[in-house]
Structure 1
Amino acid sequence: MKMIACWLLLLSFLPIVASAQQKREEIIVDGMKRAFVTYLPAQKTANMPILISLHGGFASPKGMLHLADFRPLADKEHFILVCPASKNLWHDGANNKGIDDVKFIDELITYIIKTYNADASRVYVTGISNGGFMTTRLACQLHNRIAAIAVVAATLNINEGYDLEKPMPVMYIHGVTDPIVPYNGGKKFGRQMYSHNAIINKWVTLDGCDPQPVVTQIPDNAHDGTTVMREAYSNPKNNLKVVSYIINNGGHTWPGGWQYFPKFIVGKTTHNLNACQVIWDFFKPYQLKAGI
């Protein structure tokens, strides 16, 4: 008994090691339960940034966490990761069919800020495919709440009742041989969409960036048959940037992620780029400022 008492006394002096938390939460929007997964890093501080990560069509927060795992970065860089769930698809078009996903994300941002004392000026959104199109829609309609976006394997729908309005730092990553969302745009899934180059040019014009980018070639160091070209457009007056990553021989995939479907269905996943890392590195200097 004395030995046990000694051990208990010793343990009482040891520091309590904080642990990360991942939990499923819900809010009510327009009378509907809307679910999301929140990941809080082990070292929690006040005024942490928020990174919202939107899954693709017919996917899930769990799947997005597997495909684009920002959790190690959240632990290292101390930000809150939120993976919301769509109702099968994100309603990125003008016809919401009774489900207002813009309102959902708007109220979700408010909930995370209030519940976890997060930084309202550092809210970032990323997404892939259907979630990528939704990310661009949010940049159009929630630009007063979002500091920067990063879009993978998606662009912007044309003639859907909304368009780019406010300058914002943006990043777009697209595979040249994407079989699901064509790199060159066109009509798909009953909608017209901009090409990768067209959406980059729209943002470059809106952000007032120099139309001549700084170009960086990333070779096939992973020996997976892909190469990457990075084009960075800058406006030194307002510090805004538009960054384009073009994945040569890349498919409808998350760079650095796992090959979630066979190559003959979605194309190749490049491992010459870690999308999670470059997206976070792009986001973290930015915060909402009046007048931009």
Structure 2
Amino acid sequence: MYGRKNPVVALALLVLVSLIGFVSAERSAGCGKNPTIQSKQYTINVNNKQRQYFVKLPDRYNKDYAHRLIFTWHQLGGSAQKIVNGEDPNRGGVIPYYGLNAIANNTAIFVVPNGLNNGWGNQGGEDVTFFDQLVKVIEADLCVETSLRFSTGFSYGGAMSYAVACARPKMVRAIAVISGSLLSGCSGGNDPVAYYGQHGTSDSVLNVSGGRQLRDRFVRNNGCTAVSPEPQPNGQNSVKTVYKNCKEGYPVTWVIHRGDHNPSQTDAGSSTPFAPKNTWEFFTQFAPQ
């Protein structure tokens, strides 16, 4: 009697899970609380500097649902406001929230930090400390699945995501680096983190070799088998390479295209940038731990 599962009970539990969201021991302290944080800009003191950031809640925020937490870092000369509002993708601009909010279906909270001097120099690790403080503030007030934190960015923003993965590998489940390079440092950098990278072979701002350098660190850290020869675009279309033999839970995906320094690159015959879909699919393959 005790060894047989009751199918009615099992079905009830499944329905309950679907209603309340992720169920795990990794729910943040903010779960169940009426939130004070809203979708707007905030200021926080970090190392005696006033730092600004935006928060974007789902349109139908549920205080009992453990959401993904996604950090979106802007490029050099950009700003958090430009990530929130978006720019003309036909001129190399970013789509709002790198296109992720539009496909998140109310499952994610977005944090959009603003860089000092419009960039992420990360002097003395100050931008990583900024990240630490934001995680603390957000998760104390909002309902987050703490095993599902993610980070993405274009150019300098990609470099900052890389710096976070190096310095805080236990705090991010995966990152997505769009046309990045080693600009924000890599303190640590010896632990595995699930890694998505994307770069253009015609990048006139940050050479593709820099993007490959970032990728290769996590190919090694994640125990993946290196690919030879180096993947190349298929004409005007991007080519996606999923590395093999990676440690379980630590995949590496690399997308190479023939474009320039562009976060909104498209394939031939398409007007839809491929980074949002690729990034979202990469992030959402992970379940709560």
Is the TM value for this pair above 0.5? Answer: yes
Match status 1:59 vs 2:78: yes
Match status 1:129 vs 2:155: yes
User: Which residue in the other structure is 1:189 paired with?
Assistant: none
**Mapped contact 2:162–2:186 kept (Cα < 8 A):** no
Q: How much does 1:218 deviate?
A: 8.0
Residues 1-292 of structure 1: pairs in structure 2 closer than 5 A: 22-45=39-62, 46-65=65-84, 66=86, 67=94, 68-74=98-104, 76-92=105-121, 95-96=123-124, 100-157=126-183, 162-184=187-209, 195-212=210-227, 226-235=236-245, 237-248=247-258, 250-256=259-265, 271=271, 273-286=273-286
Q: How much does 1:163 deviate?
A: 4.5
CA distance in 2, matches of 1:161, 1:210: 22
CA distance in 1, matches of 2:288, 2:167: 15
TM-score, normalised on structure 2?
A: 0.73
Q: 1:140 to 1:157 in 2, by over 3 A?
A: same
Q: How much does 1:273 deviate?
A: 4.2
RMSD: 2.8
CA distance in 2, matches of 1:218, 1:77: 34
Higher strand share: 1
CA distance in 1, matches of 2:147, 2:244: 21
Q: How much does 1:168 deviate?
A: 1.1
CA distance in 2, matches of 1:161, 1:151: 14
Q: Which runs of 5+ in 1 are unaligned?
A: 1-20, 185-194, 221-225, 258-267
CA distance in 1, matches of 2:207, 2:82: 23
Q: How much does 1:31 deviate?
A: 2.2
User: Which residue in the other structure is 2:30 paired with?
Assistant: none
Q: 1:31 to 1:288 in 2, by over 3 A?
A: farther
Query: What SS is found at the alignment partner of 1:124?
Result: strand
Number of residue pairs the alignment of both structures matches: 236
Calculate percent identity across the aligned residue pairs: 22
Q: 1:161 to 1:117 in 2, by over 3 A?
A: closer
User: Which residue in the other structure is 2:91 paired with?
Assistant: none
User: Which residue in the other structure is 2:4 paired with?
Assistant: none
Q: How much does 1:183 deviate?
A: 1.0
Q: How much does 1:64 deviate?
A: 1.7
Query: What SS is found at the alignment partner of 1:238?
Result: coil
Q: How much does 1:201 deviate?
A: 2.5
Q: How much does 1:101 deviate?
A: 0.7
User: Residue type of the partner of 1:278?
Assistant: N
Q: How much does 1:247 deviate?
A: 1.1
CA distance in 2, matches of 1:176, 1:163: 28
**Mapped contact 2:78–2:119 kept (Cα < 8 A):** no
Q: Deviations over 1:26-61 (max 9, x none)?
A: 222122221111111122232111110000012111
CA distance in 1, matches of 2:147, 2:211: 28
User: Residue type of the partner of 1:246?
Assistant: I
Q: 1:235 to 1:288 in 2, by over 3 A?
A: farther
CA distance in 2, matches of 1:40, 1:120: 16
**Mapped contact 2:145–2:288 kept (Cα < 8 A):** no
CA distance in 2, matches of 1:256, 1:69: 12
Q: How much does 1:147 deviate?
A: 0.8
The structure with the largest alpha-carbon Rg is 1
CA distance in 2, matches of 1:218, 1:115: 44
Q: How much does 1:25 deviate?
A: 1.5
User: Residue type of the partner of 1:279?
Assistant: T
Q: Deviations over 1:232-273 (max 9, x none)?
A: 11336513211111111x11111358xxxxxxxxxx9x8464
Q: Which runs of 5+ in 2 are unaligned?
A: 1-37, 87-93
Q: 1:22 to 1:31 in 2, by over 3 A?
A: same
CA distance in 1, matches of 2:186, 2:70: 26
